[in-house]
Amino acid sequence: MNVNGAHFRTIWLHPDDTAVIQIIDQRHLPHQFIIENLTTVAEMARAIRDMHVRGAGLIGAAAGFGMYLAALAAPRDGFLAHTLTAAQELKATRPTAVNLAWAVARQLKVLDGAPPEQRIQTALNTAQAIADEDADFCRRIGEHGVSLLADISRRKNGEPVNILTHCNAGWLAFVDHGSATAPIYVAHDQGIAVHVWVDETRPRNQGARLTAWELGQHGVPHTVIADNAGGHLMQRGLVDIVLTGTDRTTYTGDVGNKIGTYLKALAAHDNDVPFYTALPSSSFDWQIEDGVRQIPVEQRDAAEVRMIQGLHDGEIKQVLLTPPDSPAVNYAFDVTPSRLVTGLITERGICPASAEGVLGLFPEKRKG
Ligand code: MRU
């Protein structure tokens, strides 16, 4: 995707040093564009935990490269034990996005079978494959999802299609293209008029900071709104479709996503606004059926609720919002039950949010 006209991915191998992974440190966006070098598993784990990188697909790609860094540092004797420890360290960073455990498991499986002299190259190839696949699947999500926006545009005789999105399921949350934003970028590039309502997405404001920035970089018309505005806009007929991403979706169609998504789905349901979730297959949980009960919901530091970050006098500052002694709690995700989800947009096409719909697109995942 474009940053001031230049193409970037969110994570890549340093072009001159194969022992270094480079990332865009998202903590500083939109005010500063900073590239960070990572050379150890501990640094990669910290980058995931403290959200230098975030978003389901990118967390998976970061874990893939983290396992490569582990392979580089592992002794020849005890290689697998070393990589198993690294796997635990990476998996412990963030619990909700299923891509993390998926990428680590994929690396462990290939490393277990690789001849000792080829392990490092195998780990690098696998990390690159995870990243390339993520970008390619998101590109395909865009190609499938654009049909939804084109249909609405036709119905509105070319008037702008108003899309509401929550949090950041854009290219910053993946390796490239994004999931929820991919159809929007394709539509915009095809000349379909679109306008995006960007939920600010408290407490970390991934919408206001990241989605608004990347849409702006691509020239997509957008407006940032307070999280609480969505229901009102839907009642007024100002939202044609809700498009979100997901950190973990059960194969039965329950959608785990950034806190507040469930409320948007309820409002969409009440106002007959279609609610779609876009995801690469790496974000499906093929094991659990009941997302509301079984998707692990991360609780983060309450300071993220009590404080807010912004630019003041040219410097990024944190300020306190609450009385100093008021306790706060920070649930980072919620789960939208499948009955509120109109459909899922995947790299293989669009399907109903149900086991039948999902397994129809991914028949190899049927059990028994
Ligand atoms: O806590 P984050 O920023 O890692 O959360 C991820 C998100 O940005 C959203 O939940 C997103 O919609 C799904 S990730 C593609």
CATH number for the domain spanning 81: value is: 1.20.120.420
Contacts of 216 (CB under 8 A, 6+ apart): 222
Q: Hey, which of 163, 179, 246, 258 would you mutate to test ligand 1's pocket, going by the most ligand atoms within 8 Å of its Cβ?
A: 258
Nearest Cα residue to atom 12 of ligand 1 = 245
**Is 54 near ligand 1, meaning CB less than 6 Å away?**
yes
**Is 55 near ligand 1, meaning CB less than 6 Å away?**
yes
Q: Hey, which of 176, 214, 257, 282 would you mutate to test ligand 1's pocket, going by the most ligand atoms within 8 Å of its Cβ?
A: 257
What confidence tier does 59 reach under pLDDT thresholds 50, 70, 90? very high
Does residue 251 lie within any of the structural domains? yes
Rg of the chain on CA atoms, in Å: 20
pLDDT of residue 367: 84
125 and 211: one domain? no
Which ligand 1 atom is at minimum distance from the Cα of 246? 13
**Is 332 near ligand 1, meaning CB less than 6 Å away?**
yes
274 and 334: one domain? yes
| Contact between 199 and 268 (Cβ < 8 Å) | no
Active site residue 247: yes
Does residue 138 lie within any of the structural domains? no
What confidence tier does 1 reach under pLDDT thresholds 50, 70, 90? confident
| Per-residue pLDDT tens over the stretch 136-177 | 999 999 999 999 999 999 999 999 999 999 999 999 999 999
Tell me the C-alpha distance between 298 and 50, whole Å: 13
Q: State the chain's mean pLDDT as an integer.
A: 97
Full DSSP string of 206-238:
HIIIIIHHHHHHTT--EEEE-GGGHHHHHHTT-
122 and 233: one domain? no
Q: What is the pTM of this model?
A: 0.97
195 and 332: one domain? yes
Backbone angles phi, psi at 14, to 5 degrees: -55, 130
210 and 338: one domain? yes
278 and 195: one domain? yes
84 and 127: one domain? yes
Does residue 340 lie within any of the structural domains? yes
**Is 169 near ligand 1, meaning CB less than 6 Å away?**
yes
Does residue 277 lie within any of the structural domains? yes
320 and 195: one domain? yes
Residue-number span of the structural domain to which 30 is assigned: 2-133
Tell me the C-alpha distance between 180 and 277, whole Å: 7
67 and 167: one domain? no
Which ligand 1 atom is at minimum distance from the Cα of 169? 15
Q: Which residue has the tokens 């780990």?
A: 123
Tell me the C-alpha distance between 51 and 97, whole Å: 13
Residue of 134, 227, 247, 254 marked catalytic: 247
- 3-class state of residue 52 by DSSP: coil
| Per-residue pLDDT tens over the stretch 100-130 | 999 999 999 999 999 999 999 999 999 999 9
Q: Cα(167) to centroid of ligand 1, in Å?
A: 6
| Per-residue pLDDT tens over the stretch 194-213 | 999 999 999 999 999 999 99
CATH code of residue 156: 3.40.50.10470
Q: Which residue has the tokens 């947009």?
A: 345
| Per-residue pLDDT tens over the stretch 312-324 | 999 999 999 999 9
116 and 157: one domain? no
185 and 212: one domain? yes
Nearest Cα residue to atom 6 of ligand 1 = 55
Nearest Cα residue to atom 9 of ligand 1 = 258
Does residue 336 lie within any of the structural domains? yes
Q: Hey, which of 54, 163, 202, 204 would you mutate to test ligand 1's pocket, going by the most ligand atoms within 8 Å of its Cβ?
A: 54
Total domains present in the chain: 2
Among 86, 102, 133, the domain-final residue is 133
**Is 167 near ligand 1, meaning CB less than 6 Å away?**
yes
Does residue 88 lie within any of the structural domains? yes
Among 109, 133, 157, the domain-final residue is 133
Contacts of 196 (CB under 8 A, 6+ apart): 162, 163, 164, 165, 184, 211, 215, 220, 221, 222, 223
Nearest Cα residue to atom 10 of ligand 1 = 258
147 and 60: one domain? no
Between strands 255-258 and 248-250, the pairing is: antiparallel
Among 133, 162, 186, the domain-final residue is 133
| Per-residue pLDDT tens over the stretch 227-246 | 999 999 999 999 999 999 99
pLDDT of residue 5: 86
| Structure tokens given for 38 | 């990572």
